[in-house]
Amino acid sequence: MRMYDIIKKKRDGGELSTEEIAFFIRGVTDGSIPDYQISALCMAIYFHGMTVRETCDLTFAVRDSGDRLDFSAIEGVRVDKHSTGGVGDKTSLVVAPIVASLGVKVAKMSGRGLGHTGGTVDKLEAIEGFRTILSEEEFIAQVNKIGLAIVGQSKQFAPADKKLYALRDVTATVDSMPLIAASIMGKKLAADDDCIVLDVKTGSGSFMKSAERSRELARLMVDIGKNAGKKMVALITNMDRPLGYAIGNALEVEEAVETLKGRGPADFTEVCLTLAGYMLSLAGMGTPDACKTLAKQAIEKGGALSKLAETVKAQGGNEDLITGGMPFARAKFTREVRSGKSGYIQRVDTEAYGLASLALGAGRNTAEDSIDYSAGVLLAKKTGEFVKEGEKVATLFANDPSLFPRAEEILLGATQLGDTMPEAEPLIYDVID
Ligand code: URA
């Protein structure tokens, strides 16, 4: 088999066989296929797409390119949730403890942030001492003991995806439905969960800018998961505005903790309760609505907050940060961003909001960049709210004040004001099962 022939076939709109896809991913993983040929095939896939059968084959080849986890030693139903990436998206920090506090196991492998999007592992590392690397034995023992563990992905985990993603990132081929689906689901399926809830973001802060494209991606990923024998559901959720008010790692952990205390922002709380409801429902606890009520009670009765504190303690962090005895360290400098005119916030460019936080040091441009956990943006106003001239729209946090002007410029440029109150958009557009 020759890589040249595989590229030519896809370039001409052909359908690749299972063997050809397996050959490609083997070559990506062992380094035998050069970057220019990998990139050429990604571009051909970008233009011609893939059938569902091809996308499933690609996903399973990515899944099998490295270690597959075996969670059979975990007692009970295991459920996971995955977000396609957004701004201010700290849902895992809330839904995982809710679900675990109700007796359903959450053995979670999470990713890091890249570009304008954040990642759960970075947020957890904002908690001093929190270990995001555990041995497989430690991980399984912790899930069996307290119901929840959250770690990062090891180098041996779907390595083909790491290589492919790095090349897609520099060849303008990230935005391809089959490549995104295979990347996300290849990693999800390498873990060993029974049920997966996908949170497919849609809007200006997500990979998929339209609800239609998000639905298509959700349908594809749900089908791939079902093909692999998983119980699946996908929610299409609004990312035309950041979730909650906090963007940036430590700020987001604080907001997640407030939410677990019942004092979270309404939009963020609603998305968390809905996601948790579907996770519990897939795990057999009842209808999504009944499970959403259980999730709400887990916050009201304090069980979810205690579960996060227990998890933080088990993984080496200070539980007092969660239960309230100790404040989070804040960045050395703050700057208030004030509006230059009056009006309703009509719309915001959520991706740019993420980039403003990145400009303060809270994110990374490349996978190798280090990040400042205490940096970020705390919004004071969101879409639909009225702002008076000179009124505060956000507070910026950084350890280097020279970073403020750029972030302020991005943030104000991304906030569109108008005379009328915009129509409210749904928080959750659709559920695909
Ligand atoms: N997230 C991933 O893990 N992969 C993609 O291709 C896009 C988003």
Q: Report whether 109 contacts 152 (CB < 8 A).
A: yes
Indicate the residue type of 29.
T
Is 210 among the residues known to form the active site? no
Q: What token pair was written down for 137? A: 């034995």
One domain, residues 284 and 341: no
Closest C-alpha among 125, 152, 129 to residue 314: 129
One domain, residues 295 and 338: no
From 63, 162, 174, 224, mutation site for ligand 1 pocket: most ligand atoms within 8 A of C-beta: 174
Task: Say whether pLDDT at 361 is over 80.
Answer: yes
One domain, residues 217 and 120: yes
One domain, residues 243 and 315: yes
**What pLDDT is attached to residue 62?**
97
Q: Report whether 76 contacts 203 (CB < 8 A).
A: no
Instruction: List, edge to edge, every strand of the sheet that includes 333-338.
Output: 246-247, 376-379, 392-398, 333-338
One domain, residues 128 and 29: no
- Residue indicated by tokens 């270690």: 67
Task: Say whether pLDDT at 308 is over 90.
Answer: yes
**Which ligand 1 atom is at minimum distance from the Cα of 179?**
6
Digit-coded pLDDT (tens) for 218-266: 999 999 999 999 999 999 999 999 999 999 999 999 999 999 999 999 9
Q: Is residue 43 part of a domain?
A: yes
Q: Is 207 in the pocket of ligand 1 (CB under 6 A)?
A: yes
From 59, 180, 224, mutation site for ligand 1 pocket: most ligand atoms within 8 A of C-beta: 180
CATH no. for residue 206?
Answer: 3.40.1030.10
Count Cβ atoms below 10 Å from residue 296 Cβ, excluding itself. 18
**What pLDDT is attached to residue 118?**
81
From 165, 200, 208, mutation site for ligand 1 pocket: most ligand atoms within 8 A of C-beta: 165
Alpha-carbon Rg for the chain, nearest whole angstrom, is: 21
- Residue indicated by tokens 């008010």: 245
Q: Report whether 339 contacts 387 (CB < 8 A).
A: yes
One domain, residues 339 and 287: no
**What pLDDT is attached to residue 97?**
98
Task: Say whether pLDDT at 160 is over 80.
Answer: yes
Interatomic CA distance for residues 171 and 269, integer angstroms = 37
Contacts of 215 (CB under 8 A, 6+ apart): 200, 236, 429, 430, 432
**What pLDDT is attached to residue 116?**
82
User: Percent helix, strand, coil in the chain (nearest 5)?
Assistant: 45, 15, 40
Interatomic CA distance for residues 425 and 203, integer angstroms = 11
Q: pLDDT class for 327, splitting at 50, 70, 90?
A: confident
**Which ligand 1 atom is at minimum distance from the Cα of 168?**
6
- The secondary structure of 45-108 as a DSSP string is HHHH---HHHHHHHHHHHHTTS-----TTS-S-BEEEEE---SS--THHHHHHHHHHTT-BEEE
Give the distance (Å) from ligand 1 centre to CA of residue 58: 14
**What pLDDT is attached to residue 28?**
98
Q: What token pair was written down for 243? A: 């979730």
- Kindly report the pTM of this predicted structure: 0.94
Q: What token pair was written down for 358? A: 């990145």
**What pLDDT is attached to residue 155?**
79
Interatomic CA distance for residues 21 and 158, integer angstroms = 15
Q: Is residue 13 part of a domain?
A: yes
Interatomic CA distance for residues 47 and 120, integer angstroms = 32
Give the distance (Å) from ligand 1 centre to CA of residue 192: 19
Q: Is 84 in the pocket of ligand 1 (CB under 6 A)?
A: yes
Closest C-alpha among 358, 283, 315, 353 to residue 93: 315
Give the distance (Å) from ligand 1 centre to CA of residue 334: 33
> Which residue is closest in CA terms to ligand 1's atom 6?
180
Q: Is residue 231 part of a domain?
A: yes
Give the distance (Å) from ligand 1 centre to CA of residue 207: 9
CATH no. for residue 44?
Answer: 1.20.970.10
Q: Dihedral (C-alpha) 363, 365, 368, 370: value to the nearest 10 degrees?
A: -30
Is 183 among the residues known to form the active site? yes
Is 339 among the residues known to form the active site? no
Interatomic CA distance for residues 159 and 190, integer angstroms = 11
Digit-coded pLDDT (tens) for 93-126: 999 999 999 999 999 999 887 778 888 999 999 9
Task: Say whether pLDDT at 366 is over 80.
Answer: no
**Which ligand 1 atom is at minimum distance from the Cα of 174?**
6
Task: Say whether pLDDT at 367 is over 80.
Answer: no
Split into its structural domains, the chain has a count of: 3
> Which residue is closest in CA terms to ligand 1's atom 2?
184
Domain enclosing residue 412, as ranges: 333-418
One domain, residues 241 and 151: yes
Domain boundary among 323, 356, 372: 323
Q: Is 113 in the pocket of ligand 1 (CB under 6 A)?
A: no
Please list the residues that pair with 361 across neighbouring strands: none
**Which ligand 1 atom is at minimum distance from the Cα of 184?**
3
Q: Report whether 87 contacts 242 (CB < 8 A).
A: yes
Give the distance (Å) from ligand 1 centre to CA of residue 144: 29
One domain, residues 122 and 245: yes
Mean of the per-residue pLDDT values of the chain: 95
